[in-house]
Amino acid sequence: MSEEPVIICRCNDVTEEEIVALIEEGITDIEVIKRLTRIGMGPCQGRTCIPLVQSIIARRTGKPMEEISSPTSRHPVKPVRMGVFAGEEVEE
């Protein structure tokens, strides 16, 4: 009987196995992992998955958590009112 995969990023359905495979390939930069797997890009914006991935990197590489940076967040170039997203307003 096989075990169910451990989901690290619920928004983008990324498993622990996928993260570990990248680390074993030598990819330990969280920015690169983010681009390859889309962790932190879903509706929760990485509130759950980023700390989990950081802890997996720390555990697998032996690096202290303090040495594993968080991915860079990027703000919109132009502010957009929430009503536009909800379809209640028209963007000017």
pTM: predicted TM-score of the whole model, two decimal places = 0.76
Q: For position 78, which CATH number holds?
A: 1.10.10.1100
Domain that holds residue 36: 7-85
92 occurs within a structural domain: no
Number of domains in the chain: 1
Is 43 inside a domain boundary? yes
Q: Within a domain: residue 64?
A: yes
* pLDDT tens-digit series, residues 26-41: 999 999 999 999 999 9
Counting Cα atoms < 13 Å in the Cβ hemisphere of 1 gives 2
Percent helix, strand and coil across the chain, each rounded to 5? 40, 5, 55
Residue 89: pLDDT above 80? no
Domain assignment present for 1 = no
pLDDT of residue 84: 79
pLDDT tens for each residue of 50-83: 999 999 999 999 999 999 988 877 776 777 778 8
Residue pair 19/56 in contact (Cβ under 8 Å)? The answer is: yes
51-66: string of b/e by CB count within 10 Å (b at 16+)? ebbbebbbeeeeeeee
Tokens of 38: 């889309």
